[in-house]
A = this chain, B = another copy of it.
Amino acid sequence: MPSSPPPISSVAVLGCGLIGQSWSALFLAHGLDVVAWDPDGGVLAALPERVEPLLGQLRALGATADRPGRLSVASSVAEAVRGTAWIQENAPEKAAIKHALYAEVEAAAAPDAVIASSTSSLTWTDLAAGVARRDRFITAHPFNPPHLMPLVELFAGDAETLGRAETFYRSVGRVTVTLKKDAVGHIANRLASALWREAVNIVAEGIADVAEVDAALVHGPGLRWSVIGAHMAYHLGGGPGGIAHYLDHLGPSQERRWATLGTPSLTPEVCRLLVDGIAREAAGRSVATLEAERDRGLMLALAARRKAGEGEGA
């Protein structure tokens, strides 16, 4: 049995857009040093001031170590990954760009350093094709914004690397979910995509407008799914007999419902309904204002979970 690797004290963050910034804040808040790199010098220079308000949110949540980590920037990929056991890659969602980056990483990193890709739309199989040490390569998909959202979806070909990833992300307060099989969109984005398709259909069919669909979700199933999952909701919907009773009695009517769901296309007309509908829902609020409202709502929801003892953060 191999000796277990030492605890991780620093992380290389490659790519410092929204996802890289958010990861950096999370790692720093948990006392890990971050060495950041981005091909765009302006993005890299702006990183400390971008990270600061996110760290403030994590402090307000109480999800911080006694001593925050130290943020430094590297002038090359090699400099960023040298001496680091964990590499979080957030490059653009093009396999060729990521493959080129992995070649640079592998030329400089310690042999047992893990490369974790934040990819949302590519698969482990797509990306591992450009990695020599595939046993040390993993997809670790966060949900936006990663410093607040607990979920990290994992897939790896190697059980030991998977175990290291579970330990690592849990140590920074994340909830990990592991796929049994590599899949486009992992779990969460498949679910989000399926729901949005029907949300678009409801608008396209004239059943309700954008703001009403969003309100129904936030005050109905969204609220419930923040507490229990969809499968569990149908288990409780079955009464004392649970999901077996539900499937026996209401399974056929669910299948009929599925057959009535829409398969809309994003035609110019449908896009116009969506854009106009969002304008009405936003009611003059900028994207930045809406993001700040989202973050405030998420922080209150996370504080409520902490109270429930579900152990988010910290």
The DSSP consensus for interface residues of chain A is helix
Neighbouring B residues of A164 by C-beta, 8 Å: none
Q: How large is the interface on A (under 10, 10 to 19, 20 to 34, 35 or more residues)?
A: 35 or more
Asked whether, in the complex, the Cβ of B175 is within 8 Å of the Cβ of A294, the reply is: no
Interface string of A193-210 (1 = CB under 8 A from B): 111111101110111111
Assembly stoichiometry (copies): 2
Asked whether, in the complex, the Cβ of B220 is within 8 Å of the Cβ of A188, the reply is: yes
Neighbouring B residues of A212 by C-beta, 8 Å: 177-179, 187
A132 at the B interface (CB under 8 A): no
Asked whether, in the complex, the Cβ of A226 is within 8 Å of the Cβ of B223, the reply is: yes
Known contacts A212-B178, A247-B266, A300-B305: does B197 contact A261 (CB below 8 Å)?
A: yes
Partner of A278 from the list B180, B235, B254, B293 (CB cut-off 8 Å) is B235
Neighbouring B residues of A288 by C-beta, 8 Å: 240
Which residues A206-261 have CB closer than 8 A to chain B?
206-210, 212-240, 242-244, 247, 251-255, 257-258, 260-261
15 additional A-B pairs beyond A193-B254, A222-B225, A243-B275, beta carbons within 8 Å, are A149-B220, A151-B223, A181-B207, A181-B208, A185-B260, A191-B195, A192-B230, A194-B261, A196-B231, A214-B232, A228-B290, A232-B282, A242-B282, A247-B275, A251-B266
